[in-house]
Amino acid sequence: MGFIQEARDGGEAVVVAVPEEKAALLRAEMPEDDAVRYVETSAVAHHPGRLIGAWQGWIKAHSDEGRPVRGIGESPWGAVRSPAEAEELRYHEWLLNKAFSAGPAWWLLCPYDIAGEGAELDRMSRCHPTIRTAGRSETSETYDLRAPFDFSPLSHPCSPYEEFAYSRGDLPALREKIACADQLGLEGARLRELHLAATEIAANSIRHGGGQGVLRMWSQEQRLVCEFRDAGYIADPLMGRSRPTRTQVGGRGLWLAHQLCDLVEIRSTPDEGTTIRLHTGVTD
């Protein structure tokens, strides 16, 4: 509340993107008006790869008016569906500092429940340049924008898994492999969405990853996981997280994968190449 009131007193706009139960508490004390806007987050909260694009849209209306903008963005830490989702949410908050470094000036507050997430606060402090407690802000001693993100290792593929090596001319066969996912319980629109996303990622391997790659596919905790490995390197960690422009070169396949899949994990280094995992829930 103090953060919102500071913005109102200073003639700033505030965008509030928090879980609905917490938004209801804030609305009771601070109703929406021309300065305070509450946004619906359910469509993107559990999809970390879509959140930067969402924030770009949420703040654009206010920044176009020329007024300073503040945001409150709380990730659904208490309702994450897997360790992979929690890791991608943490990565998203680290990427925010890069995503808006060259854009309009704004200030984003990321609230945390100290009682519920105390064990993770040290890791999260590495993602934020400033820590605000009881209305006072201090510089984070562990934050370093120049340092690479400290990813946790990817989990091992679940056995048994399908494996298929592909190269130029093999996309039809790869699509047939993905189509067989109906045997693992994925069907209808979800299967078609995964089919399209997987085709885009495999085409990127052929185009940018040395002309070939390896697909692994397995079922894990009511999710179907498709993993693509190739020798390429994705230098821009923000690739695929913003809606592509008409003149943009590259990034459309990754952006599409983020829109169509429940979760996308990307690990890419010059030495080890690129691994991309597409997660699609078998049941809603």
Examine the pLDDT at 275 and tell me if it is beyond 80: yes
User: For residue 269, is pLDDT > 90?
Assistant: yes
Mean pLDDT of 241-251: 79
Residue 87 is predicted with a pLDDT of 93
39-64 burial: b if 16+ Cβ within 10 Å, else e: bebeebbbbbbbbbbbbbebbeebbe
Q: How do strand 13-17 and strand 36-38 relate by DSSP bridges?
A: parallel
Stretch 46-64: mean pLDDT: 86
pLDDT for 103: 64
Q: Mean pLDDT throughout 246-254?
A: 80
> What percentage of residues in the chain have a pLDDT greater than 70?
95
For range 252-264, the mean pLDDT: 94
Residue 2: the pLDDT is 87
What's phi and psi for 58, nearest 5 deg?
-65, -40
Give pLDDT, residue 104: 63
pLDDT for 284 equals: 52
Mean per-residue pLDDT of the chain? 88
Average pLDDT over residues 95-113: 81
Lowest mean pLDDT among 132-136, 148-152, 254-258, 267-271: 132-136
pLDDT above 80: residue 242: yes
Question: What is the DSSP code (8-state) at residue 278?
Answer: E
- Helices then strands, counting H and E runs in the chain, come out as 9, 11
pLDDT digits (tens, 9 = 90+) for 5-40: 988 898 889 999 998 889 999 999 999 988 899 998
**What is the pLDDT at residue 80?**
87
- Between 81 and 249, where is the model more confident? 81
For the chain, what's the residue count? 284
32 three-class SS: coil
Lowest mean pLDDT among 28-37, 175-184, 191-200, 266-275: 175-184
Residues 6+ apart with CB under 8 A from 239: 250, 251, 254
3-state SS class at 145: coil
Per-residue pLDDT, 42: 86
Query: How far, in Å, CA of 183 to CA of 162, rounded?
Result: 12
